[in-house]
Structure 1
Amino acid sequence: MLDTAKHAVRPEHAPSDHPAIPAAKVGVLLANLGTPDATDYWSMRRYLNEFLSDKRVIDYPAWKWQPLLQLIILTKRPFTSGAAYRSIWNTEKDESPLMTITKDQTAAMTAAMAERYGDQVMVDFCMRYGNPSTKSVVRKMVEAGCQKILFVPLYPQQAGATSATANDQFFRALMEEKWQPAARTIPAYFDHPLYIDALAQSVERAYAAMDSQPDILVCSYHGMPKRYLLEGDPYHCQCQKNTRLLKERLGWADDKIVTTFQSVFGTEEWLRPYTVEHVAELAKQGKKKIAVIAPAFSADCIETLEEINEEIKESFEHAGGEEFTYIPCLNDDAAHIKALMAVVEDNLKGWLD
C-alpha cells in the first residue's frame, strides 16, 4: 500500500501553515464484478440485493421487480448461492477465488507499472458489487494524490451489465469528489492481439497436456437477454468475433470451436445456444470429448469454477459425454498481464512520459 504521508509535501511558495499535499500521480483502477464477503445468509443477501437491484442487470420496472426480489428471490437464493460459493471458497484466505485472483492480478500489474514508471503510478482494484467498493477506492486514490485515474473494467467485451455498469459506478464516485481527478475508461479489448494470443496460449498448453485432442472447444460466454442485443448492446457480436479471432490464431477449422452462452436467469429468452444444453447435444452427436473455455471472464469465479466445472460438466456427462476439460481463465498468467499492460499503456498516452 502506498504511504501517502511519506510522499506528501508543502507546495512551493505556500505559507508555512499550508497542509502537505501528496505528490501528483496517475491512478490505474482495475474493476471486477464483485464477491460476497462471506457465504452466510446475510452476507449473500446483501451481495445479491446490490447485484440484482442494478438496473443495468435487471431492467424491469422497480414496482414490478423489487417485490419479487425482496419477498421471494432474496428469501431463498442466498441459501443456494451460499452453498455454491462454499464449494469453491478459498478457506485458507477466507475469501472467494475471484477476490484472491484479482489481488494477484493487481500485484502483478503494480510490479509491472512500477518497473516501467516508478512511483508515478498507483495501481489498485475495486468491485462493482461488494467490497472494496468503487467509491472507497476512488476516495483512497484521490487522497493518495491521483489527479488522473484510468478506470479498467476487467471485461474483454463491452456490455451494459458489465463494463457499462462498472463505469457508471466509477462516475458516481467521482461525483462526490470536491477535487475531481481527470478520468478515462478503457474500451473493449476482446480483439487486442495480445489478449487473443494469451487465450490461444492457454488453449495450446491445455491441449498439449492431454493424451488425445478434444472433439471441439466450447467458448462459453456469460449470457444476457436476447432483447439487449436487439436494443443495441454490442456484447453478442463481440463474443462471436472473439471466438473467430481465437480460431484464426489457433489455425483451426470452423467445426473445432463453437460459441455458447451460460448463466441464464429468469423466463425471457437469452442469447443462444445455451451452454448447459449445447454440451449435452454435442455428447448426443458423438462428441464425447470436449474442452470449455470462458473468454468473457478475466478471473475464475462462481460462473466458471462452480457453474462450468460442475453444472455444465454434469450436463455433458449425463448425456453420454466421456471427457470434459475446463481450461481456466487467464487470471494472473504472465501473458494476460502483458496484454492488460498493453491495453493500459495505450490508454495512458499523454498522461505519462
Structure 2
Amino acid sequence: MTPAYAPADHPRIAPARTGILIANLGTPDGYDYWSMRRYLNEFLSDRRVIDLPRWKWQPILQGIILTKRPFSSGANYKTIWNEEKGESPLMTITRDQAQALRERATAEWGEQVMVEFCMRYGNPSTHEVVGRMVQAGCRRILFLPLYPQYAGATSATANDQLFRALMEQRWQPSVRTCAPYFDRSDYIDALAGSVERALEGRKPSRLVASYHGMPKRYLTQGDPYHCQCRKTSRLLQERLGWEDGIIDTSFQSVFGREEWLRPYTVEHVAELARQGHSDIAVISPAFAADCIETLEEINGEIRESFEHAGGKGFTYIPCLNDDPAHIEVMMNVIRENIGGWV
C-alpha cells in the first residue's frame, strides 16, 4: 500500500505484520562432496563452535578436515536422506513444524502474523528469511531457536546470525529472542509422553538421555548447557515417577582430541551392556527434530556399540519433531513472548 498523503512516486509499503521465526541448526543441500564441503565449512568455521584462533584452525580445517570429512559425512547422510523430497530429515521435519505453527498462529491471530523457519548453517539461511519477512511487512520478529537447552554453540550462534541479518536491513524490525525451555513443565510432559508411547508401559533397565556434546572447557568458562541437560534428565525422571539411577545423562558427537563433557554415549552404552544391562532405551532431549546425530549416530554407531558389547534390546525414542504436544510447547513459548505485539 501507499501511505496516506504520500506523493504518487512514494514506494509501496507492505501492511505491518508480526513475524515468528523458528531456527534449527542446519543441513547440507545434498550428500555429494561439494554440498557437504560447503555445509561443513560454514559450520566448522563458526567461532562459537570451534573457538581456536583462525591462524591455527583454518589450515587444519581447509587442508585436512574438508578434504576427507565430506566423503564420510556424505555417506552417513545418504543412509538417512529423504530421497522422495531430495532433502535431509531435519529439513522435512523443521518445515512440518513451521507449517503446524503457521496453522495454529493463523487460527489464533489471523493474517497479521507470519511464521517462517530458517537454518543457522545452509539453507534457507537466516539472512534470506529475515529479508523476506521484512519485505513482507514484519515490523516485529519473535525469534525461537529450536534448542531446549542453551549453549553458546547453538542458541547463541543462532542469535548472532539473526543480529547479523538485521545489520543488512535499512528498516530494522523490533526483535525478541526466546529463552531456552529445558525445564518447562509442558516440555517435560511432552518428553515423558514420548517415552511412555515408545516403551508401551515397559521400563528398561536404563534410559539413556543422550545430549549433544561440547568441550568440557566451555562448562568451566561459564556455559550453562551441562547443568541444563542434567536438570532436564532429573525432571523427566520425576515426571515419569521412576526411581533414582534409572536415567543416565551422557553426551555424544565428540569431535577432535580435546576432552568433552562425559560420559560419552558411545562408550557409556557399551559399559552398560558389559554390566549386564541387556535392555536399554535412548532419548535425545537436546534435539527438537530427528537429524544425522539421532537417526544415524544413535540408531547406528551407538546401537552397534551397545550390541557389540553384548547388549540385546536397544530402543531409540524419536525426537518430539512435529508431535502435537511439541507444537503446543512451542505455541506456549510463543504466546508468552509475543505479548503486546498481537
Hey, which bits of structure 1, 4+ residues long, moved more than 3 A? none
Please, which of 80, 85, 88 is the counterpart of residue 80 of structure 2?
88
1:147 match: secondary structure? strand
Per-residue Cα deviation, 1:86-139 (whole angstroms, up to 9, x for no partner): 000000000000000000000000000001000111000000000011000000
Aligned to 1:149: 141
Aligned to 1:290: 280
Q: How does 1:53-202 map to 2 (within 5 A)?
A: 53-202=45-194
1:109 match: secondary structure? helix
Aligned to 1:338: 328
2:269 matches 1:279: yes
Distance 1:83 1:103 in 2: 24
Aligned to 1:239: 229
Per-residue Cα deviation, 1:138-166 (whole angstroms, up to 9, x for no partner): 00000000000011100000000000000
2:256 matches 1:260: no
Distance 2:2 2:185 in 1: 45
What one-letter code is carried by the residue in structure 1 that aligns with 2:12? A
Cα shift at 1:53: 0.4
Cα shift at 1:193: 1.1
User: What TM-score results when the alignment is normalised by the length of structure 2?
Assistant: 0.99
Q: Percent of aligned pairs with the same residue?
A: 70
Distance 2:4 2:198 in 1: 57
Cα shift at 1:216: 1.1
Distance 2:12 2:221 in 1: 50
Unaligned 5+ segments in structure 2 are none
Cα shift at 1:11: 1.5
Unaligned 5+ segments in structure 1 are 1-8
Aligned to 1:6: none
Cα shift at 1:10: 1.6
Per-residue Cα deviation, 1:40-84 (whole angstroms, up to 9, x for no partner): 101100000000000000000111110000000000000000000
Task: Give the number of aligned pairs.
Answer: 342
Distance 2:7 2:109 in 1: 32
Cα shift at 1:20: 2.3
What one-letter code is carried by the residue in structure 2 that aligns with 1:47? Y
User: What TM-score results when the alignment is normalised by the length of structure 1?
Assistant: 0.96
1:152 match: secondary structure? strand
1:254 match: secondary structure? coil
What one-letter code is carried by the residue in structure 1 that aligns with 2:284? A
Q: How does 1:5-44 map to 2 (within 5 A)?
A: 9-44=1-36
